[in-house]
């Protein structure tokens, strides 16, 4: 017998299996062995760790389809070790990392490096998203068969949109022959023009160069037309406008093979957060209006949006300590996603099982990942959440190498208190990472 872990008396919430009840969870040899009422296993059968789950939620390990881990190339912002540490501290057991590193993940050597580093670090499972185009330049397709074989779970040039419609068509056709989903960052650059925030009432107050909702919607609409043409699997990254949510809703009604995600910050914040020129509110797509935020919440509630992601995009204090228009786009989110979303639950905006679904089996289904459920035989990835733990978000306590969060100083309730990956306890609150 290998090592075993028993969680006693937690509220087990497994949306994939329609399970929401107080019970026990036995993990053995890296798999879920039993759910429900579990007889005490014979201690002489090998190592057994027992965790008291009283008052805690036990959910499938959280899955984030969209993070930037900055390795290789920009390890001063984050690397695979610090990023995977931040992930497990936030309750995420699987993270899919985007290809816009330096060099980009457009060839097997880089995919292999990310996969090997992720495995060596041994915290959250690190699943690479490979590039669509060589050098993210939108001209030549990558060798997708080889990238998939090396572990790529999807393809995306995220950070950049796929600008050329003919190239996007070819990418969709090519990726679909390997069963890879194409993920696009929808932004018509001729419309967005490098705008630092959303174009609307708030931008007239700041006087900042702004980008309209249409910059996102025009490209998303194009992509959906190309999905109809090719029949290929497509995933819309960080949907952020009411118009985009409606486009995805209609595409799904039509039966197109489309899935979509929304970020935590677009569910919590609006462009009014930019009024004080805080560069920690500068992200792309930009924070939108309250009507857009409400439409995104409705999209999560009705299943139009399959996944909630962080788009964790680390930048150092130096990177961000410049004028708003000069600052790089992006905020981090792995260590704040859960408490931020629990606030929406507390406000009654979303139901807890829906939020957990969009963080587990919802995203797993988008990329076909073997994750996000607690049925016996599933990988033993589990997150234990204390929904009542109150605290203040302090970036100096993050395990991420960067601190660029818009949630600093927020008084929140709820956090991951134990994160289990492959049956191994890797993070425990307040002790931190569990080593060895
Ligand atoms: Zn993006
Ligand atoms: Zn991104």
Reading phi first (left if > 0) and then psi (alpha if -120 to 50, else beta), residue 423 is in: left
Q: How far is the CA of 66 from the centre of ligand 2 (A)?
A: 6
**What span, in angstroms and rounded, lies between the C-alpha atoms of 60 and 82?**
22
**What span, in angstroms and rounded, lies between the C-alpha atoms of 113 and 118?**
8
Q: What angle do CA 432, 152, 416 make, to 5 degrees?
A: 20
pLDDT 10s digits, 58-95 = 999 999 999 999 999 999 999 999 999 999 999 999 99
**What span, in angstroms and rounded, lies between the C-alpha atoms of 266 and 270?**
7
Pull the structure tokens for residue 237.
């990254």
Check: CB of residue 149 under 8 Å from CB of residue 122.
no
**What span, in angstroms and rounded, lies between the C-alpha atoms of 32 and 20?**
16
The number of C-alpha atoms within 13 Å of 367 and in the hemisphere containing its C-beta is 33
Q: How far is the CA of 285 from the centre of ligand 1 (A)?
A: 7
pLDDT 10s digits, 144-203 = 999 999 999 999 999 999 999 999 999 999 999 999 999 999 999 999 999 999 999 999
**What span, in angstroms and rounded, lies between the C-alpha atoms of 204 and 252?**
35
Q: How far is the CA of 202 from the centre of ligand 2 (A)?
A: 24
49 has which bridge partners? Answer: 5
Residues of the chain with CATH 3.20.20.140: 61-367
Check: CB of residue 271 under 8 Å from CB of residue 287.
yes
Question: Is domain 61-367 given the CATH code 3.20.20.140 in the classification?
Answer: yes
Residue list, CB under 5 A from ion ligand 1: 158, 185
With cut-offs at 50, 70 and 90, classify the pLDDT of residue 374.
very high
**What span, in angstroms and rounded, lies between the C-alpha atoms of 431 and 433?**
7
Coil/strand/helix, residue 234: strand
Which pLDDT does position 298 carry in this prediction? 99
Check: CB of residue 244 under 8 Å from CB of residue 236.
yes
pLDDT greater than 60 at residue 133: yes
pLDDT greater than 90 at residue 284: yes
Residue found by looking up tokens 């959250």 in the block: 124
Pull the structure tokens for residue 221.
């609409």
pLDDT greater than 50 at residue 400: yes
pLDDT 10s digits, 218-259 = 999 999 999 999 999 999 999 999 999 999 999 999 999 999
Helices (H), 178-287: 189-192, 201-206, 213-230, 242-254, 264-268
**For the chain, what percent of residues have pLDDT higher than 90?**
96
- DSSP states along 57-84: EEEEPEEEEEE---TTT-TTT--HHHHH
pLDDT greater than 90 at residue 41: no
Residues of the chain with CATH 2.30.40.10: 4-58+378-433
Which pLDDT does position 97 carry in this prediction? 98
How many residues in the chain?
Answer: 436
The catalytic residue positions are 311
Mean pLDDT of 378-407: 98
Q: How far is the CA of 392 from the centre of ligand 1 (A)?
A: 28
**What span, in angstroms and rounded, lies between the C-alpha atoms of 393 and 342?**
14
Fold of 4-58+378-433: Urease, subunit C; domain 1 (2.30.40)
Q: How far is the CA of 261 from the centre of ligand 1 (A)?
A: 11
Point out the ligand nearest to the CA of residue 129.
Answer: 2
Q: How far is the CA of 313 from the centre of ligand 2 (A)?
A: 7
List the single range of 2-11, 268-277, 303-312, 415-424 with lowest mean pLDDT. Answer: 2-11
Reading phi first (left if > 0) and then psi (alpha if -120 to 50, else beta), residue 307 is in: beta
Q: What are phi and psi of 233, to 5 degrees?
A: -80, 130
Q: How far is the CA of 131 from the centre of ligand 2 (A)?
A: 12
Average pLDDT, the chain: 97
With cut-offs at 50, 70 and 90, classify the pLDDT of residue 2.
low
Which pLDDT does position 156 carry in this prediction? 99
Which pLDDT does position 43 carry in this prediction? 67
Q: How far is the CA of 386 from the centre of ligand 1 (A)?
A: 31
Pull the structure tokens for residue 139.
């001209």
pLDDT greater than 70 at residue 436: no
Which pLDDT does position 108 carry in this prediction? 98
pLDDT greater than 70 at residue 1: no
Closest to 264 in 3D by CA, of 91, 422, 121, 128: 91
Point out the ligand nearest to the CA of residue 240.
Answer: 1
Pull the structure tokens for residue 395.
């970036």
Burial 9-20 (b: 16+ CB within 10 A, else e): bbbbbbbbbebe
Closest to 313 in 3D by CA, of 281, 355, 340: 281
Check: CB of residue 155 under 8 Å from CB of residue 177.
no
Point out the ligand nearest to the CA of residue 284.
Answer: 1
């Amino acid at each position: 017998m290998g090592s075993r872990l028993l969680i006693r008396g937690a509220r087990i919430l497994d949306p994939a299996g329609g399970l929401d009840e107080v019970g026990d969870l036995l993990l053995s040899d890296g798999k879920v062995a039993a759910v429900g009422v579990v007889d005490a296993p014979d201690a002489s059968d090998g190592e057994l760790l027992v965790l008291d789950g009283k008052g805690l939620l036990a959910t499938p390990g959280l899955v984030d389809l969209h993070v930037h881990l900055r390795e290789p190339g920009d390890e001063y912002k984050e690397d695979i070790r610090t990023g995977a540490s931040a992930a497990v501290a936030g309750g995420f057991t699987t993270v899919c990392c985007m290809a816009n590193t330096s060099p980009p993940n457009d060839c097997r050597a880089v995919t292999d490096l990310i996969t090997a580093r992720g495995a060596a670090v041994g915290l959250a499972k690190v699943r690479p998203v490979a590039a669509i185009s060589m050098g993210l330049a939108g001209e030549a397709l990558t060798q997708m068969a080889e990238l998939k074989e090396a572990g790529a779970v999807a393809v995306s040039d995220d950070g950049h949109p796929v600008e050329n419609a003919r190239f996007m068509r070819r990418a969709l056709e090519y990726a679909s022959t390997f069963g890879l989903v194409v993920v696009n960052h929808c932004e018509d650059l001729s419309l967005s023009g490098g705008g630092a925030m959303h174009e609307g009432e708030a931008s007239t107050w700041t006087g900042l160069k702004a980008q309209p909702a249409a910059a996102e919607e025009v490209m998303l609409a194009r992509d959906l037309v190309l999905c109809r043409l090719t029949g290929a699997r497509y995933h819309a990254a960080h949907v952020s406008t009411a118009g985009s949510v409606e486009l995805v809703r209609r595409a799904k009604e039509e039966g197109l093979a489309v899935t979509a995600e929304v970020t935590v910050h677009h569910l919590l914040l609006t462009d009014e957060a930019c009024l004080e020129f805080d560069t920690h509110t500068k992200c792309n797509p930009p924070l939108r209006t309250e009507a857009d935020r409400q439409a995104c919440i409705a999209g999560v509630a009705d299943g139009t949006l399959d996944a909630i992601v962080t788009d964790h995009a680390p930048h150092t204090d130096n990177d961000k300590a410049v004028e708003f228009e000069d600052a790089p786009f992006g905020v981090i989110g792995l260590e704040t996603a859960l408490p931020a979303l629990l606030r929406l639950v507390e406000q009654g905006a979303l139901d807890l099982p829906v939020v957990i679904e969009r963080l587990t089996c919802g995203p797993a289904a988008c990329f076909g990942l073997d994750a996000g459920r607690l049925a016996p035989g599933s990988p033993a990835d589990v997150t234990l959440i204390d929904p009542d733990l109150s605290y203040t978000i302090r970036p100096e306590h993050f395990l991420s190498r960067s601190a660029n969060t818009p949630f600093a100083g927020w008084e929140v309730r709820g956090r991951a208190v134990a994160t289990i990956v492959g049956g191994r306890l890797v993070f425990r609150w307040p002790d931190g990472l569990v080593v060895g």
